[in-house]
Amino acid sequence: MNDPFCKCARTCIGCRRRAGKEEFLRVVFDKEKNETFIDISGKAEGRGAYICRSLKCIETAEKKKSLSRAFKAPAGGDIYEKLREVLNG
């Protein structure tokens, strides 16, 4: 993506960098199931938040409780561990 200010750009909840959604991991909160999970397909229903594929951004988001703020609900405590696992392969 050439234009970071395009309407289709997403923002990382850790570092606030804007880029296309293919550059981020998408985390989804399903209100009905009260569940937070990583959306690999990028098409799951629920409120979504994007985070860079970087350990630094994951740690920053955890420290600032960015997922809880983005979802307006408590994010599951193990979601950050799951993000680290996905990042490490």
**Which of 86, 24, 85 lies closest to 49, judged by CA?**
24
Let me know if residue 3 belongs to a domain: no
Domain that holds residue 14: 10-88
Can you give the pTM of this predicted structure? 0.87
Confidence of residue 2 (pLDDT cuts 50, 70, 90): low
Q: Is the pLDDT of residue 49 over 60?
A: yes
Indicate which CATH number applies to the domain containing 63: 3.30.1230.10
Does the structure show a pLDDT above 80 at 33? yes
- Whether residue 77 has pLDDT greater than 90: no
Is 5 contained in some domain? no
Q: Number of folded domains in the chain?
A: 1
Nearest to 71 by CA among 52, 46, 51, 54: 46
For the chain, what is the mean pLDDT? Answer: 90
